[in-house]
Structure 1
Amino acid sequence: MIELLLTGSLAFIMFSLGLSLKPQDFGVAFHQPKALIAGAMAQLLMLPVIAFALLRIFGLQGDFALGIMILSCCPGGITSSIITKLSRGDVALSISYTALASLVTAVTLPLVLSLTTPLLIPQQDVELSILPLSLKVFALATLPVVLGVSIRQWIPKLAVRWQLPSSQLANGLFVAVLIGVLIGQWDVFIANLPLLGPLLLLLNLLMLVIGLVVGHLLRLRKSQITSLSVEAGFQNGTIGIVVGSLIGEEFIQGGLSRFSLPSAVYSVLMLVTIIPFVFWRRSL
């Protein structure tokens, strides 16, 4: 029952994201190739690499380590576009990043997990099935976006009417999922916060800085640099929570709480960096 509620919530959240997108949003970044390359490098390549490097430095293995790798493969989602807007970044570019990342997550997430799982959980003889996981992620994270975009394209009046209430409901579902995971495993959350907290905050800060540095090196506009930094630094915790619950079935030990908890912790801790980042970028 819990997994059904989680998967249904994620599907609706991604559907809500799709309603806010137009087909041309997927092409905005292609007209800005430098920005597109920078975004792909930061989010699809550097984020998982940095996350894995931090796990090695902190000496973290097991379920929580895999949960952090799951988080590192998640796209930005609706939250990143809101942060970009508040930070006076390039919102169109942010939406384009999110749209493209949401489509490729079904491929990149299972691929990264298949490479890192044997290293992070060496004590268990685990062989992650890429195709079934890819199909699940596609059905829950990619297909709803496509459905929302299709409605926006073919029935625009209906999409516009649904957009605000669906967005409000999606935000409510995100908060409900987050609170549900934290309350359900509050003792585990408190016990592991001293370890997970610094690692996740460091990952967040490093990716924000990397996004800024890559943007400056490629001489992007200030608004584009802001968008790149946000997309690299802030991830969709809901996807991490739900995918963590899905792959729990693949393992002898662990389950919903342990694979999903890093994403839940991250969703709370990123509030610590969002506020100063927004004020800083607005002051430039």
Structure 2
Amino acid sequence: MIELLLTGSLAFIMFSLGLSLTPQDFGFAFQQPKALIAGALAQLLLLPAIAFVLIWAFGLQGDFALGVMILSCCPGGITSNIMTKLSRGDVALSISYTALASLVTAVTLPLVLSVTAPVLVPQQGIELSILPLILKVFSLATLPVLIGVLIRQCTPMQASRWEQLSSQISNGLFAAVLIGVLIGQWNVFIANLPTLGPILLLLNVIMLAVGLIVGHLLRLKKSQITSLSVEAGFQNGTIGIVVGSLISEELVQGGLSRFSLPSAVYSVLMLVTIIPFVLWRRRL
């Protein structure tokens, strides 16, 4: 039941994202190749690489280590678009990043996990079949986005009426998922916060900095640099929670896999960095 609620919530959240997108949003980044290259470099390459280095540096092992890698492969979401707007970043570019990342995640996430799982959890002998995992991630994270885009394209007026309501519902679902996870795994959350907290906060801060540095090196506009930093620094924890629960049913405890806990912890801790980051970028 818990897994069904999680997957259903994620599908609706991604569908809500799709309602806010148009086909043009997917092509917008291609009109700004430097910004597109910066986004791909930061989110698809540097984020998983830095996460893996931090896992090694902190000596994190087992389920939680793989859970951090799952999180590092997740795209941004509606939250990152909102944070970009509040930070006075390039919202159109942020939406374009989110749209493209939501599409490629179905491939990149299973591929990264297939490489890192044997290293991080060799004692459990987890065998990830790439194609089935790709299909699962595609059906839960990418297909709902495409359906939302299609509805907006075919019935724009109806989609506009649905957009605000669906966005409110998706935000409520995200909060409900997070609260439900924390309540169900509260003892585990508290017990492992000293272990997971430092690495997740550091990953968040480093990626915010990486986005800023890469943007400056490529001489992007200030608003584009802000968008790049937000997209690199804030991941969709809901995807991480659901994917973690899909990997191994045998490891589900209290209705939730331990692979999902890092994403749940991250979804709370990232609030610590959001407010100062937004205030800082607004003052520039």
Give TM-score scaled by structure 1 length. 0.98
Structure 2 CA distance for aligned equivalents of residues 245 and 123 of structure 1: 19
Alignment CA distance shift 1:257-1:105 (3 Å) = same
Q: Aligned equivalents of 1:215 and 1:49: distance in 2? A: 18
Q: Which residue of 2 aligns with 1:231?
A: 231
CA distance in structure 2 between the partners assigned to 1:198 and 1:127 by the alignment? 29
Gap runs ≥5 in structure 2: none
* CA distance in structure 1 between the partners assigned to 2:20 and 2:124 by the alignment: 42
Shift of 1:129: 0.8
1: CA distance between counterparts of 2:4 and 2:27? Answer: 34
* SS across alignment from 1:88: coil
Give unmatched runs, 5+ long, in structure 1: none
1:254 Cα deviation after fit? 5.2
What SS class does the counterpart of residue 123 from structure 1 fall into?
Answer: helix
Contact residue 251 and residue 258 of structure 2 kept, 8 A:
no
One-letter amino acid matched to 2:196? L
Residue aligning to 1:200: 200
Percentage of pairs with the same residue? 82
| Aligned position for 2:83 | 83
Once the two structures are TM-superposed, the CA of residue 248 in structure 1 deviates from its matched residue by 2.2
The Cα shift of 1:61 comes to 1.0
Letter in 2 for 1:158: Q
Q: Separation in 2 of the partners of 1:107 and 1:122? A: 23
Aligned-residue offset at 1:257: 3.6
> In 2, distance between residues paired with 1:276 and 1:268?
15
Query: Would the aligned equivalents of 1:106 and 1:135 in 2 still touch at CA under 8 Å?
Result: yes
Compute the displacement of 1:123 (Å).
1.2
Does structure 1 conserve the Cα–Cα contact (< 8 Å) formed by 2:252 and 2:258?
yes
**CA offsets, 1:156-213, max 9 Å, x none?**
0110010000000000000000001110010000000001000000000000000000
Residue 272 in 1 paired to residue 272 in 2? yes
d(CA) in 1 for partners of 2:125, 2:200:
27
Residue 126 of structure 1 pairs with residue 126 of structure 2: yes
Deviation at 1:122, TM superposition (A): 1.6
Deviation at 1:124, TM superposition (A): 2.1
Please state how far the C-alpha of 1:107 moved relative to its aligned partner.
0.1
Distance 2:6 2:251 in 1: 20
Q: Equivalences for 1:119-268 in 2 at 5 Å?
A: 119-249=119-249, 253=251, 256-268=256-268
Contact 1:63 1:254 in 2 (8 A): no
- Report the TM-score, using the length of structure 2 for normalisation: 0.98
1:30 counterpart residue number: 30
What are the residue-to-residue correspondences of 1:52-131 with 2, within 5 Å?
52-131=52-131
Q: Which amino acid aligns with 1:262?
A: P
Counterpart amino acid of residue 264 in structure 1: A
Q: Give yes or no for the alignment of 1:13 onto 2:13.
A: yes
Cα deviation, 1:226-266, whole Å, max 9, x if unaligned, reads: 000000000000000011111122xx545524111100100
Which runs of 4 or more aligned residues in structure 1 lie more than 6 Å from their structure 2 counterparts after TM superposition? none
Query: In 1, are the aligned partners of 2:248 and 2:257 still within 8 Å (CA)?
Result: no
Report the 3-state secondary structure (helix = DSSP H, G, I; strand = E; otherwise coil) of the residue aligned with 1:127: coil
1:41 aligns with 2:21: no
